[in-house]
Chain A
Amino acid sequence: TAYTASAAHVALVVQAAANVIKCPPTSTSTTTIPPLAQFVALVASRARSTPETLLITTALLDRARRRLPSSARGLPCTAHRLFLAALVVAAKSANDKTYKNKSFVSFADGLFPLSEINLMERQLLGILDYDVSFSVADFDATCARLHEVEGAIAALPVSSAM
């Protein structure tokens, strides 16, 4: 049986996406944007993202954070966009066969049209200067953080794991 992504993987990606750029909280804006954690969990499960895809997504988001100036500010939906773009790119670099960008339109509940997903994909690649490598060091670092998140989740009282 294939090893499927856990809540810890999702939490790790949420953490990474939220840290890339300072965004105003989604609650202050219109209600069309779902909370980031909910959005990540929804898209990741619909895209049947594997654990390695989510680890690469995390590594790409971390790399984007390091490349953006700390003064950069985003819109309420910027973290969502960054996550979606990173997931699209990570899925392509990890899998021989993967969903088309078109599929992610419905995975994201139509929050972003195809043209925006294509745009955010290329913008993320621009930020990353097309460096989508995932080295052993990246893997180790991301796994270490995954274990931290797993530990934090295990320490939570039962019934409120996410």
Chain B
Amino acid sequence: MAKRELQELTSVSLARTPMPDPTNFLGSCVSVSVFEKLGRVGEGTYGVVYKARDTRSASTATSRIVALKRIRMENEADGLPVSSLREIALLKSISHENVVRVQEVCVGSSLDQIFMVMEYCEIDLASLMDNVIAKLRPNKFLPTETKSDFGLARKFSEPPRPMTPKVVTLWYRSPEILLGEKSYTVAADMWSVGCILGELIKNSPLLPGKIEKNQFELISNLLGPPNTKIWPGFTSLPLSSLFKFESQHFSQVRSVLSNASAQAVELVLDLLVYDPARRIDVGRALRHPYFRKEGPNPCLPSALRMRLDESSMSRPSGYDGSTKDEFGYRRRNDELYRGNAVASVLKRRLDGGDPDEPERRKSNYTRSSARFRDRETEELVLGARPFQQFDFNNGRNK
């Protein structure tokens, strides 16, 4: 049958039947050839990421630098992977300045060459922020997408269909999902947030499990084993009988996160609560004393950029000449926590053009002057202009 179908197609074209313009079928997808590959940035579970320049603009100086993420097409029998389809759909639909945008999708000559064109984040490369962006972003999306899917499905499907437990990077997977809960809620995301916050404080993954069993052991080692008093009903979850909870009986969070402030530990503890019903929710987390009672206060991303950018003084905090540890993480840098002071100095400089500023800066920051030098050396070595894309001046200097 397939053979005859092809013959028919041939006969149609031979008969010069008016055919629709074939370019219509490519929609607005551009060819990947408009991008000049500059290098390979990294490789994730979902595909290889390249840095590329958009050659459609006239000069190289103004051309757009983008990240091209090639979709991994593992199995031709599957067609386009579900995860990629959803990732594209979600990232295209979300417009938020904290979320990396998929600007377009471009295709190569072969069928399996599909690239997501995303804004290029210079900081992805080597700073502490890398972990905020690269790690939080992809993994935060998985539960969100299942959720929105779930929310929609409920409207016209009764009863709601169970969701797959194979979501979220294992390290950030919540205990109820590990135990086979199929109707998990937003609380599963809050667990992930707790893991990521802990990771940022600790500078290494909080619960880097290798397999599901190991993941639960790590959780149990960190928090103590669950019991029906702190998590009523967990024994009725499908897989709870498969895990053994015999490790130590005390929470180790405080000692593991010994470098964190008191309220930061409190917030991690509130996020890493076994019982999803008792876990802190988004609203309460945002009102947590960590954000209210301890400085530096939360600020808008625009203000954050002000702290981090400015070629002459505030190198991004990750660039302190420190060495990476075994996880590729840079050591924590106090600079980030003094960011507010830097921001106010910068702001004055920008607003009033304070002539004494360099002198004052020197006296204010003698302790860290060595660091500035280190960073500059490192910048030369790396040849990188980190945070380049953050034009916090917004043209004010022009």
Contact = CB atoms under 8 A, between A and B. Distances in A.
Q: Do A and B come from one complex?
A: yes
Interface of A: 2-3, 21, 29-30, 32-33, 50-52, 55, 67-69, 71-77, 88-89, 92-94, 96-98, 100-102, 109-115, 117-119, 121-123, 125-134, 139, 143
A30 B1 CA distance: 11
Given A113-B2, A121-B79, A125-B80, 15 more contacts: A3-B158, A52-B152, A55-B156, A89-B80, A89-B85, A92-B85, A100-B75, A100-B78, A102-B77, A119-B111, A125-B105, A130-B29, A130-B105, A131-B93, A143-B156
A93 B149 CA distance: 8
Interface string B135-146: 000000000001
B256 interface: no
B129 interface: no
Given A89-B85, A97-B164, A118-B79, A32 B1 contact: yes
17 contacts: A29-B8, A33-B5, A69-B24, A94-B153, A96-B82, A96-B164, A101-B79, A111-B2, A114-B77, A118-B111, A122-B111, A129-B105, A130-B92, A130-B105, A131-B89, A133-B93, A134-B152
Contacts of B105: 125, 129-130
Interface in B98-143: 104-105, 107, 111, 114
B27 A122 contact: no
B181 to A, nearest CB: 14
Contacts of A101: 77-79
Contact of A21 (B20, B111, B164): B20
B26 interface: yes
A132 to B, nearest CB: 5
Contacts of B17: 75
B18 interface: yes
A129 B27 contact: yes
Contacts of B80: 89, 92, 118, 121-122, 125
B85 A93 contact: yes
Contacts of A92: 79-80, 82, 85-86
B8 A126 contact: no
A73 B78 contact: no
Interface of B: 1-2, 4-5, 8-9, 12, 17-21, 24-29, 75-80, 82, 85-86, 88-89, 92-93, 104-105, 107, 111, 114, 146, 149, 152-153, 155-158, 163-164
A134 B88 CA distance: 13
Q: Among B9, B26, B107, B156, find the residue whose CB has the most chain A CB atoms closer than 10 A.
A: B156
A97 B163 CA distance: 9
B24 A68 contact: yes
Query: Most chain-B CB neighbours within 10 Å: which of A51, A68, A110, A129?
Result: A129
B19 A73 contact: yes
Contacts of B114: 122
B1 A100 contact: no
A130 B25 contact: no
Contacts of A89: 80, 85
Contact of A3 (B8, B21, B157): B157
Given A96-B164, A131-B92, A51 B157 contact: yes
Nearest to A135: B93
B13 to A, nearest CB: 9
B25 A123 contact: yes
Nearest to A64: B27
B20 A72 contact: yes
B148 to A, nearest CB: 10
B2 A112 contact: yes
B149 A94 contact: yes
A87 B264 CA distance: 48
A68 B20 CA distance: 10
B318 to A, nearest CB: 33
A67 B75 CA distance: 29
A77 B5 contact: yes
Contacts of B152: 52, 134, 139
B77 A100 contact: yes
